[in-house]
Amino acid sequence: MERINLIRRGAFPQTRMRRNRRDAWTRRMVAEHTLVADDFIWPLFVVDGADESQPVPSMPGVDRLSVDLVADAVGEAKELGIPAVAVFPFTDESLKTPDAREALNPDNLVCKAVRAVKAAHPDIGVMCDVALDPYNSDGHDGLVRGDYVVNDETLEVLCKQAVVQAEAGCDVAAPSDMMDGRVAAIRRALDGAGFEDVRIMAYSAKYASAFYGPFRDAVGSAGALKGDKKTYQMDPANSDEALREVALDIDEGADMVMVKPGLPYLDIVHRVKESFGVPTFVYNVSGEYAMLKAAAAQGWLDYDRVLMESLMAFKRAGADGILTYAAVEAAKLLKSG
């Protein structure tokens, strides 16, 4: 009401909206949102071997790194002011089984990478997915019985996986599996094992999206995946349902919630932040990254500018932080002004 009156009183020519836009210094003064390196979480891919740096073809500029190279990469991110990284393993085909038992191996690739990163950089946050897809010969996030991804049996494995990762030094357990009840179960398991300070960032509103394609190439799960993930990930047609998912995860003990994918789901980010006011993160996923890179490679878009504009859009929608493969690039751009 108040605002409508203001607009009437301030009609042209008294009001000229362009005055504040005229110079860079006023534009800076009236900017409603800012982007800083603190906003970023950098997801990175690890692979077996030594001195390995394997480009991911569908994600130009992203390499899978062997454990010996990961700590240096994380060191660069830390220097740029990025507070946390998320580690994803490319698991060798021979280690994938229907029971995803490699997920519980304390010496699996992700655990080795977490130990290496925390040893070199104890003061950077390390996140790990809690989900079985890197280890499951079916490519699904949960155990498959017949042709269905079963919920309650999966929870037992996820709980053990979260504890194994916490033992390796993981600071933030990030359940990305979309099983029902997983946040409460994982919280109980972590507390029971003495990890009451390990945080949970729940992939609360995670949609069954085709924008994850390049990620599945990067972790090598694309070939393994039988069918799709529609029986557990959300239907892109729904938005109220995202609020129910978030409410449940907060009740179950999530410290932070996440919406995924990002750019096509800014409405969800906005509703979640407005409705709950909890730390809300957004995953700028692999397909979104690939789109900008591909268009830029054609000379059709100015990469640096569309990147920063996209990241600002997340802040404007209400995100407290952004998981993005472009975290290091963006932090460098912020630093260079």
Please state the φ and ψ torsions of residue 127, each to the nearest 5 degrees: -110, 145
| Cβ atoms 271, 239 nearer than 8 A | yes
On the question of a cis peptide bond just before residue 261, with omega within 30 degrees of 0, the verdict is: yes
Residue nearest to ligand PBG (CB): 215
Report how far residue 252's alpha carbon sits from residue 296's, in angstroms, rounded to the nearest whole number: 42
Nearer to ligand PBG, 10 or 98 (CB): 98
Answer yes or no: 206 catalytic: yes
Q: Which of 78, 96, 229, 260 is catalytic?
A: 260
Least gap, CB of 146 to ligand PBG (angstroms) = 21
Q: What residues have CB less than 8 Å from 104, skipping those under 6 apart?
A: 157, 160, 161, 164
| Residue whose pair of structure tokens reads 């992203």 in the numeric block | 62
- Cβ burial of 2 (10 Å; 0-12, 13-18, 19+) is exposed
Nearer to ligand PBG, 141 or 249 (CB): 141
| Residue whose pair of structure tokens reads 């919920």 in the numeric block | 151
Nearer to ligand PBG, 99 or 120 (CB): 99
Q: Which of 206, 229, 273, 293 is catalytic?
A: 206
Nearer to ligand PBG, 109 or 285 (CB): 285
Least gap, CB of 205 to ligand PBG (angstroms) = 13
Q: Which residues bind ligand PBG (CB under 6 A)?
A: 129, 131, 133, 141, 176, 212, 215-216, 229, 285-286
Answer yes or no: 96 catalytic: no
Question: Roughly what angle, to the nearest 10 degrees, separates helices 152-168 and 182-192?
Answer: 40
Range list of H helices, 181-231: 182-192, 213-219
DSSP notation for 11-73:
-TTT--GGGGGSSHHHHHHH-S----GGGEEEEEEEESSSS-EEE-TTSTT-EEEEHHHHHHH
On the question of a cis peptide bond just before residue 13, with omega within 30 degrees of 0, the verdict is: yes
Least gap, CB of 229 to ligand PBG (angstroms) = 6
Q: What residues have CB less than 8 Å from 208, skipping those under 6 apart?
A: 228, 229, 230, 233, 234, 235, 236
Least gap, CB of 139 to ligand PBG (angstroms) = 8
Nearer to ligand PBG, 147 or 196 (CB): 147
Least gap, CB of 264 to ligand PBG (angstroms) = 12
Q: What residues have CB less than 8 Å from 142, skipping those under 6 apart?
A: 131, 132, 136, 149, 150, 151, 154, 177, 179, 232
Nearer to ligand PBG, 92 or 274 (CB): 92
Least gap, CB of 208 to ligand PBG (angstroms) = 8
Catalytic residues: 206, 260
